[in-house]
Amino acid sequence: MYDFLRDQDTDIYDAITGEDTRQAEGLELIPSENYVSLAVREALSSSLTNKYAEGYPGKRYYGGQEFTDKVETLAIERAKQLFGAKFANVQTHAGAQANMAMYFALLSPGDTVLGMDLSHGGHLTHGHPVTYLTKIFNFVRYKMKDVETGEIDYDEMREVAKREKPKILLAGYSAYPRELDYEKFVSIGREVGALVVMDVAHIAGLIAGKAAKNPFDYGFDVITTTTHKTLRGPRGGLILTREDEEIAKKIDKAVFPGMQGGPLMNTIAAKAVCFGEALKPSFQTYAAQVIQNAKAMADVFITDGARLITGGTDNHLILADVWTSYGISGGEAEKLLDEAGITLNKNAIADDTRKPMDPSGIRFGTPALTTRGFKEAECAEVARLMIEVLRAKDTATVERVRARTKELAAAHPIPESFA
């Protein structure tokens, strides 16, 4: 593999093969990362990367679109089938761009969005002040009522919605381990005349695999998502519209020509491949196992007396307060565990008093481990290994755990394809 690259650019070849080794020998617990099949990788490296295809199937601005139209149409139809949507836009380059296009399609400058506070699990694109979106739109926030259980304060959400009159009520998160009450979102949204949108980037695969609730079943208008993470596809974005054709048309115009130029046709082909994989019955088994594995890891930490934000998990991720539980900051924990062959990310917890680059928490999950064939017993062992490192904080423990993580990784090689 990489024969031409090795001969032409040894620096990049060495970096890529080094990353291959890191992934093969380590355990990936970042909940927003996963492994794709070789079929997805082949689509990404295909001749479609050479082709401009501005516009949409049947309405392109360049010639030679026979096969690009076929690829994009397949991606659209498979996405619609996976999520029960009437319309899909598969062109957005990433989840952030999907959210940006959704905002510009559905809002006017100055309009209000009510979304989850970042410190309580939301995402930067849901209105954090560091983003340029806040210079254009007005973002207001809701939070958890009880950090220990994860219950959202729906009464406060309703009061804020009645007072602020948002045009969009936004659900979704990047660090929230529980299911949301979709019926309450829709009820509040309808009461104040807001469109109800969900960013399912983290749990898209769980929804597609029928292991988590589908917001469209409860009346949500639009879903935005990434196509990697639990969906196990290439890095990219996707916007789905439940049934309103006018909304779908606005979204298409916002994506192109509003936000982006030519779509990345090689990535769209890879999206189509991953959607096809997710339509297989085996993907439902995978999605259910992701949650079972996360619960197994959470149980080990709970038994050890660790403080988990929301007290556990209903999905693929766990948010642990390591500062309170083990006397180590999130940044230090990330570094130590990385040295032990366990990759995860530091993460702020609700109302964190520490700085974002060295917060009180760590965020970890099971999508990638599950792809490698880990079950509950192996995931519980990984959790125990993590706790050993977090408690001991010494080189000898790190080296011993590193040896064991390499053994576990070797016993569960990254698969080339999915049954």
The three-point CA angle 31-317-217 to 5° equals 100
Q: Is 229 a catalytic residue?
A: yes
Strand pairing report for 168-172 and 195-199: parallel
In 3D space, the residue among 202, 195, 214, 198 whose CA is nearest the CA of residue 84 turns out to be: 214
Q: Is residue 389 a contact partner of residue 401, using CB atoms and an 8 Å limit?
A: yes
Hey, what long-range contacts does 334-339 have (CB within 8 A, 24 or more apart)? 334/362, 336/389, 336/390, 336/393, 336/398, 337/362, 337/386, 337/389, 337/390, 339/398, 339/402
Tokens 């479609």 locate to 48
Strand pairing report for 317-321 and 361-365: antiparallel
Q: Which residues contact 286 (CB under 8 A, 6 or more apart)?
A: 205, 209, 232, 370, 371, 418
The three-point CA angle 308-309-314 to 5° equals 90
Q: Is 334 a catalytic residue?
A: no
SS3 261: coil
Candidate list 51, 78, 232, 235, residue with the active-site label: 235
Q: Is 299 a catalytic residue?
A: no
Candidate list 28, 117, 199, 378, residue with the active-site label: 199
Q: Is residue 201 a contact partner of residue 40, using CB atoms and an 8 Å limit?
A: no
Q: Is 226 a catalytic residue?
A: yes
Phi, psi torsion values for 168, nearest 5 degrees? -130, 130
Candidate list 112, 131, 226, 405, residue with the active-site label: 226
Q: Which residues contact 150 (CB under 8 A, 6 or more apart)?
A: 144, 176, 177, 178, 309, 310, 311
In 3D space, the residue among 168, 220, 214, 161 whose CA is nearest the CA of residue 194 turns out to be: 168
Candidate list 51, 167, 178, 229, residue with the active-site label: 229
Phi, psi torsion values for 318, nearest 5 degrees? -130, 140
DSSP string for residues in 71-135: HHHHHHHHHHHHHT-SEEE---SSHHHHHHHHHHHH--TT-EEEEE-GGGT--GGGT-TTSGGGG
3-class SS letters over 323-387: HHHHCCCHHHHHHHHHHCCEECEEECCCCCCCCCCCCCEEEEECHHHHHCCCCHHHHHHHHHHHH
Q: Is 20 a catalytic residue?
A: no
Q: Is residue 205 a contact partner of residue 178, using CB atoms and an 8 Å limit?
A: no
Tokens 């070849």 locate to 13
Candidate list 6, 13, 17, 54, residue with the active-site label: 54
Candidate list 33, 41, 52, 145, residue with the active-site label: 52
For residue 228 the two structure tokens come to 């990697």
Q: Is 235 a catalytic residue?
A: yes
The residues that are catalytic are 52, 54, 199, 226, 229, 235
